[in-house]
Chains A and B, each alone.
Chain A
Amino acid sequence: MEITHDTLVAFSKSWGLFYLIAFAIGVAIYTFWPSNRRRFHRAKHSILDQDDKPWR
């Protein structure tokens, strides 16, 4: 098959859309995964702790 401008454009657009959706779903799953709640909670509050020395 000859690769023309049109086929490349069609491929780009459909594949790009698929990628976008898959990526969005992946991110959403990670963000709302129940066991991640604790990590996020800790991360969110930990920056307010004392930070004068590196932990050893």
Chain B
Amino acid sequence: MIAQLTSSERQYSAVILILLLMAGIAMAALGKADALGVQGVIVLLYSGVLLAFVLSSIDKPEPSEDRQANYYDDPIKVGIVLSMVWAVFGMFMGVWVAAQLAWPNLAFDAAWSTFGRMRPAHTTGVIFGFGGNALIATSFHVVQRTSRTRLAGQLSPWFVLMGYNLFCLLAVSGYFIGITQSKEYAEAEWYADLWLVIVWVTYLVLYIRTLARRKEPHIYVANWYFMAFIVVVAMLHIVNNLAVPVSWGHAKSYTIWPGVQDAMVQWWYGHNAVAFFLTAGFLGMMYYYLPKRAGRPIFSYRLSILSFWGITFFYMWAGSHHLHYTALPHWVQNLGMTFSVMLLVPSWASAGNALLTLNGAWHKVRDDATLRFMMVAAVFYGLSTFEGSFLAIRPVNSLSHYTDWTVGHVHAGALGWVALITFGSLYTLVPALWKRERMYSAALVEVHFWLALAGTLIYVFAMWNSGIIQGLMWRTYTEDNALAYSFVDSLLAMYPYYIARAFGGLLFLLGTIVGCYNIWMTVRMAPVTAQDHADLPDRRAAPGIAPSPAE
């Protein structure tokens, strides 16, 4: 990890960690008995462990002079490992909370293990832990390869990665001890939010500086999506999390937004977290790893540009479809609905672009489970964006909202699209990064693929059924114009589906564990030893392009 840092960079990192350690002490001192004190201890331990690591290897040999001649892959490797660790944790929490809905006594009469506290641990674990680390790792990889330049910082990639994981750790540990803002997908409290702003600005600066150093004349479209992901998530995060803490010694804060404005801001955030965290960033992955793995260029580059701006522009309007028939003014609901339907155009353009790229390579899709991961992800992307536009239509939403249909929709996207494109990308990336010939076991990739697909389908079908039944039961009238079912009747009808859903989730989790094993064994394999292409610098210049003035 530290071998590529010069001794002064190692000293800087020690200084940063000491500052962080002091921040942890301050939090613990200010917080005292409040939950903030516990969070302070976590900061203290986290920075302490990293500091011990840095100090223990501070005297190791310095990197050679020509480190600029190589890509900076160490942070990517660590990011992949962290991503998979979070995946197992987050999905395990998911299976557990799903099981609790079927068998409520699985909370064991403790406070930390109740559904309400564990649910954000699941969502944060998978979205920010698994998804976020995968995005950071792949974005570092893609930006270097497509720009033909090394990352524009030695320490900052580590700061971004480790700082981001501290945020995730603070958020998730906080939920268990009762720290939450209650804003869905933005539950972390004010101090963690402030920390994330620092980390995220560093990420943005690093990314911009790396792009500015590029040797290619044009910024490849995958980077556009990663940039949109970084920039817009910063905007969303700051606006939605504006809050006044109870005191400097309290973890608790109150958002500055009241009632109806808070609802709009929250779902403007919530929906665009889906758009720019769970869609834009992963489209960036798709636009790089899918063509790379298929060995074919993207079907239409122009289409990818058009759909990029379409997604960037349209998504921002769509959040209010989460608030149909509520106290939010009607015209805002209508705008949200209209743009949600229009969103289908750029979304299907992206999905179609991915699938058409595979035209002529379908035999590879058949034989290569890694490529199949990405192909099925594109299909699920198309399906769930269609479903999303459909559910945003007011009358449809009157049935689906508040029911499991929404949960099914989210998981069609999260499992079918986000997780599958990530696994496909990681299976492409891992052998390339560790310079192995291939993954340890192609058969295990195949096993993972079928577990993941079966799990997703069982999950989504269970939730479709339960959601639609639930919605219909709530609105069914008897002949004498009374409501036909009590709420408890509708809950009773859900149990079989809740069991099926937990089973589907379990299959998906097992697939992920298989994936972890496979990646671990690949890392342990012997590297490609031959003096083949790997060690010969590619000195070809871009045709007809002058070198950029930055170098």
| Residues in A lying within 8 Å of B, measured CB to CB | 9, 13, 20, 23-24, 27-28, 30-32, 39-56
Contact = CB atoms under 8 A, between A and B. Distances in A.
B482 to A, nearest CB: 39
B292 to A, nearest CB: 6
B538 A47 contact: no
B217 interface: yes
28 contacts: A13-B331, A23-B313, A24-B313, A39-B217, A40-B301, A42-B542, A42-B543, A43-B301, A44-B301, A46-B216, A46-B220, A47-B288, A48-B292, A48-B295, A48-B296, A50-B533, A51-B145, A51-B538, A52-B533, A53-B69, A53-B537, A54-B144, A54-B148, A54-B149, A54-B150, A55-B539, A55-B541, A56-B69
Q: What is the interface of chain A mostly: helix, strand, loop, or mixed?
A: helix
Nearest to B151: A54
Given A31-B305, A47-B220, A47-B288, A55 B145 contact: no
B318 interface: no
A13 B335 CA distance: 9
B71 interface: yes
B305 to A, nearest CB: 5
B302 interface: yes
B541 A47 contact: no
B67 to A, nearest CB: 10
B70 interface: yes
Name which of A27, A32, A46, A55 has the most chain B CB atoms within 10 A of its CB: A55
Contact of A41 (B221, B301, B539): B301
Contact of A54 (B70, B305, B534): B70
Contacts of A41: 301
B331 A51 contact: no
Contacts of B551: 56
B114 interface: no
A49 B541 CA distance: 12
Nearest to A5: B329
Contact of B291 (A39, A48, A53): A48
Report the 8 A-B pairs with minimum CB-CB distance, sorted nearest first: A55-B148, A53-B537, A55-B215, A51-B145, A40-B301, A44-B301, A27-B309, A44-B297
Nearest to A52: B534
B441 interface: no
B542 A56 contact: no
A45 B221 CA distance: 12
A31 B537 contact: no
B377 to A, nearest CB: 19
A27 B146 contact: no
Given A42-B218, A54-B71, 6 more contacts: A44-B297, A46-B146, A47-B145, A47-B146, A50-B538, A56-B551
Query: What interface size band does chain B fall in?
Result: 35 or more
A30 B146 CA distance: 21
Contacts of B542: 42, 46
Given A42-B218, A43-B218, A47-B220, A52 B306 contact: no
Given A23-B313, A42-B542, A53 B216 contact: no
Contacts of B216: 43, 46
A50 B145 CA distance: 9
A48 B539 CA distance: 15
A44 B537 CA distance: 22
Contacts of A9: 331
Contacts of B70: 53-54
Contacts of B533: 50, 52
B68 interface: yes
A18 to B, nearest CB: 13
Contacts of B543: 42
Contacts of B540: 49, 55
A54 B148 CA distance: 5
Interface string B514-536: 00000000000000000001111
Contacts of A28: 306
Given A43-B216, A55-B539, A20 B298 contact: no
Given A47-B292, A50-B533, A51-B148, A56 B539 contact: yes
B229 to A, nearest CB: 19
B309 A54 contact: no
Contacts of A45: 297
Contacts of A27: 305-306, 309
Name which of A24, A30, A51, A54 has the most chain B CB atoms within 10 A of its CB: A54
Name which of B302, B331, B534, B551 has the most chain A CB atoms within 10 A of its CB: B302
